[in-house]
Structure 1
Amino acid sequence: IEAELVKGTVNLLDAYVQYNGVKNLVFTVGQQKAPFGLEANSTDALNSFLERGMANAAFGAVGAERRVGATVAYQTDKLNATIGVFGSGEAVQRNESTPDETYGVNGRITWDPILDTGRLLHVGASAYKVAGIAGHTLSNIGDRPGSRIDGGRLVQATITGTAPSGLAPTGARNATYYGLEAAGVFGPFSLQGEYNHLSVDRFGTASTVNFDGYYVFGSFFITGESRVFKNGNVDRIKPFTDFNPRKGGWGAFELLARYDVLDLTDGGLQSIAGNPVNKKGDSWTLGLNWYLNPNVRFVANYIQFKGENSPLVFPVPAASRLNGPGTTAKGDVFGTRLQVDF
């Protein structure tokens, strides 16, 4: 069981039962992370930047993240695969008057043909398909620009289950996702990237909506350490020397740079309440990670972002947010975090 305390509220993150009595197999039942991509399936505290890539968060919210379900995983040092069936999260409340919850199938497979200390080659793929979308509506598909200090999304799209006057129903029937991932570690240098694609099938003659996103980043440990992977996910960094000035120890220092894109552009959305066609956001991030020891890290990110037809420009009312002319948002963020995890 894992929970979090946020603003005085306790949220249940993970609550599951696991059985590993069969060699290389792990069976899990309960609320858990659905198989979905490298950053999403790695422990949040171990990811390299303040926040995951935008497409990971945007598309994960549709059919992944933490959900109630059952999975079976095949685990070895180099080859790992997981498949599962899922409903919605534990916080979803149901009664006889509410629609059935979303249900779907998720899977992920990874292979690390090179897996040595300071040397890694990692490739993987993931996919899901979800149906039974509540109200046939997918609201606020999008994400913030690399920082979560507020709720403002850089770009967002909504597929509504209610037809505008005079138009055929355009609600979401089901959603299909696939993603590719790759990473390489070469001593103190590393590269990592993911590509994400989401297709939403709609009712009637409405066209299928397609969204894309990707990120790529590089990092370098100026103190000589290497990034670590385990069972297809990012693992904990252990500095050569922990922070202890009296003994000459200063921890590990990592420099990073990332380019991140979320493209929610699709001509099929133009007919819905006058949605603008172009909805593309991108950002550049420069980062510094200071690992004082394996459990304490200081993170600093400088982010420069831009979003076309962004809700950041006209946050209210909704009509202005969708139809405002020249709604290109540009900005800069400097964010820091001191985290302790165990």
Structure 2
Amino acid sequence: MNRFSLYLGASVVALTLAGPALANDADIQSRVDDLEATIEALRAEIAEIRKTPEFKPSPNFTDSKGEYAFKFRGQIAADAAVFDNKTGANDFNSGTQLRRARLGIDGTIQSDWLYRLEIDVGNASRDDSATGEVDVKDAYIQYKGIDKTVFTIGQHKTPNTLEQAIPSTDTLFVESPLFVEAFTNRVTAGGDYKAGISAKYSDVNWTATVGVFGENYSINGGGNTGGTATPVYRDEGWGPAARFTYAPINGVDKTLHLGVSGYWRDTGGRTSGLRFRTGPEISVDSTRLVDTGNINAKSYSFIGGELAGQYGPIFFQSEYGRTSTNRIAASDVTFDGGYVQASWVLTGENREYKDGAFNRIKPKNPFSLKNGTWGAWEIATRYSTLDLNDENIVGGKETNYSVGLNWYPNPYLRLLVDYVHFDATKGLAQDKGDALVSRVAVIW
């Protein structure tokens, strides 16, 4: 058989085999349809898998397109403190406190709209006679449809001081420095969580936030009375607030932060309820060492400067602020304070810097006896001072020195131990002593 015969035979066989297939287009189309149906089924299965909640560490539900999302959030912080009073009439009570017990939800609607509701039920652990057992923290809606810009309406943090901008889960010490607590307290001053509207623009190296804020929401219907059932004055206080930050150095482990913030507030109907005060930077005992008492004022304002940064595991943070009060039928009074604090992460980690604030340490090697890893360890120190004396107001002066040891077993759990030496003088009275406070905190 020659080569031509072989080619001819092969062609005949090929045509014979292919004939039925070519003649049965309907069968081919059926197989194509089956394949497309299988692909669609696989796509649907993948979409369902994506809807399965992701745990990091709480359930996070997201649709297949990423346009809708829902997650639970919260934190628990429990403190224990021991006081040693050296001098003074105040007898601090050693004991424990559920400092925070927050529960909340975050959500996304069609990608550009976000919402958050978070409440604190920590006071409910005290006794049934306490007022304001449920404390509203965040209750807002955000719009993020414009590049690098966020609009927020509802109750949220006012843009005042670096310490306030850092989440309570990420602060270096158990409590805020003296002047931050005195000048940005949510009940009588212009900071912390308040109902309002704000806009924030964030670039890589700088942020600008401006807003107008009223008073606080209240579960019990008391509005601006801080949780009581009957308002004690007619109008709410209100005023603008703003914060601007710039980071001339902003690397992965090298940061230099500069910032300024301030507010102006009309007291509304609370012309005799303005009050600045604070304790020994420990909240287990609520005794105030320095206190201006009620000030009869029409308005008041705050201005503060920020300087912070990090170089690898070395971190520092400092602020200075002063508040001025426009009194009724009396001269204006001014108070001021500041702090410097620093830390060294012994295990080498550094803080993430984002949107003008520093986040907590996240250990490279979470604690595990099985793997022989011990999480992240940090030592810290702070100097804090506050002066509430001016004109005929004798609120007192206080200076605190603190050292701390922080352990981060994993990104969601931390344990803090602080030693605080406090020294306060108010008129002829002096309170001096030492305290040791510990905190166990978890976030989800």
In structure 2, what is the Cα distance between the partners aligned to 1:327 and 1:222?
A: 41
What is the match of residue 322 of structure 1? none
Who is 1:292 aligned against? 409
Aligned-pair CA distance for 1:134 = 3.2
Which of 152, 177, 183 is the equivalent residue of 2:308? 183
* Bigger mean CA deviation after superposition, 249-258 or 90-99: 90-99
Q: Is the 8 A contact 2:142 2:153 kept in 1?
A: yes
The correspondence of residues 240-319 of structure 1 with structure 2, limited to 5 A, is 240-269=364-393, 277=394, 279-309=396-426
More deviation in 134-143 or 91-100?
91-100
Q: Is the 8 A contact 1:208 1:268 kept in 2?
A: no
- Cα shift at 1:138: 3.6
Show CA shifts across 1:146-173 (max 9, x none). Answer: 100021012110243xxxxxxxxxx201
Give me the whole-angstrom Cα distance separating, in 1, the residues matched to 2:269 and 2:432: 34
Alignment of 1:217-256 (within 5 A): 217-256=341-380
Q: How many Å separate the matches in 1 of 2:271 and 2:367?
A: 53
Partner of 2:118: 2
Q: Measure how far apart 1:80 and its partner are.
A: 0.6
Instruction: Give the TM-score, by structure 1 length.
Output: 0.87
Change (3 A) 1:236 1:97: closer
1:86-129 deviation line (CA, Å, top 9, x unaligned): 11001243789942100100000111111112100000000100
Kindly state the Cα deviation for residue 12 of structure 1 after the two structures are TM-superposed. 1.5
Q: Shift of the alpha carbon at 1:222?
A: 1.1
Q: 2:136 aligns with which of 4, 12, 34?
A: 12
Q: Which residue of structure 1 aligns with residue 439 of structure 2?
A: 337
Match of 1:114 in 2: 249
Tell me the equivalent position of 1:168: none
Q: Which residue in 2 is equivalent to 1:316?
A: none
Separation (CA, whole Å) in 2 of partners of 1:117 and 1:307: 40
Q: Structure 1: where are the runs of 5+ without partners? A: 161-170, 270-276, 310-324
In the alignment, the residues of structure 2 paired with residue 33 and residue 213 of structure 1 have an alpha-carbon distance, to the nearest angstrom, of 21
Equivalent residue for 2:181, pick from 44, 52, 57:
57
TM-aligned CA deviation for residue 137 of structure 1: 2.0
Structure 2 residue 313 is matched with structure 1 residue 155: no
Aligned to 1:319: none
CA contact (8 A) 2:291 2:395 kept: no
Equivalents in 2 of 1:333, 1:125: separation in Å? 32
Assess if the C-alpha contact under 8 Å between 2:308 and 2:316 holds in 1: yes
For the 8 Å contact 2:195–2:214, the answer to whether it is kept is yes
Q: Which moved more, 1:105-114 or 1:231-240?
A: 231-240
Tell me the SS of whatever aligns to 1:236: coil
Return the offset for 1:140.
Answer: 4.0
CA-CA distance at 1:139 after TM superposition: 4.6
Distance 2:325 2:209 in 1: 24
State yes or no: 1:203 paired with 2:328: yes
**8 A Cα contact 1:17 1:29, kept in partner:** yes
Equivalent positions of 1:77-92 (< 5 A) are 77-91=204-218, 92=222
C-alpha RMSD of matched pairs (Å): 1.6
Instruction: Give the 3-state SS of the residue equivalent to 1:19 in structure 2.
Output: strand
Aligned residue pair count:
309
In the alignment, which residue of structure 1 is the partner of 2:45? none
Name the residue aligned to 2:59. Answer: none
Residue identity matched to 1:178: I
- Distance, in Å, in 1 between the alignment partners of 2:369 and 2:253 is 26
Task: Find the aligned partners of 2:344 and 2:430 in 1 and give their Cα distance.
Answer: 33
Equivalent residue for 2:50?
none
In 1, distance between residues paired with 2:157 and 2:206? 19
Query: Equivalent residue of 1:127, what SS?
Result: strand
Whether 1:131 aligns to 2:266 is yes
Letter in 2 for 1:209: V
Residue 93 (structure 1) aligned to one of 223, 239, 245: 223
Q: Is the 8 A contact 1:137 1:158 kept in 2?
A: no
Query: What TM-score, normalized to structure 2?
Result: 0.67
Other-structure match for 2:297: 172
Q: 1:189 to 1:96 in 2, by over 3 A?
A: closer
Closer/same/farther in 2, CA of residues 132 and 140 from structure 1, 3 Å limit? closer
Q: Give the deviation of 1:135 after TM superposition.
A: 3.1
| Structure 2 counterpart SS, 1:226 | coil
| CA apart distance, 1:220 | 0.5
**Mapped partners of 1:120, 1:203: distance in 2:** 44
SS of match in other structure, 1:137: coil
Contact 1:42 1:233 in 2 (8 A): yes
Distance 1:138 1:211, change over 3 A: farther
- For residues 401 and 236 of structure 2, what CA distance do their matches in structure 1 show? 37
Letter in 2 for 1:93: G
**C-alpha separation between the residues in 2 aligned to 1:259 and 1:12?**
32
Between structures 1 and 2, the one with greater helix share: 2
Conserved 8 A contact 1:256-1:286? yes
Q: 1:138 to 1:196 in 2, by over 3 A?
A: farther
Percent identity between the two aligned chains: 35
For residues 301 and 97 of structure 1, do their structure 2 counterparts lie closer, same or farther at Cα, with a shift above 3 Å needed? Answer: closer
* Cα 1:252/1:191, change in 2 over 3 Å: same
| Distance across 2 between alignment mates of 1:339 and 1:295 | 8
CA distance in 1, matches of 2:386, 2:397: 6
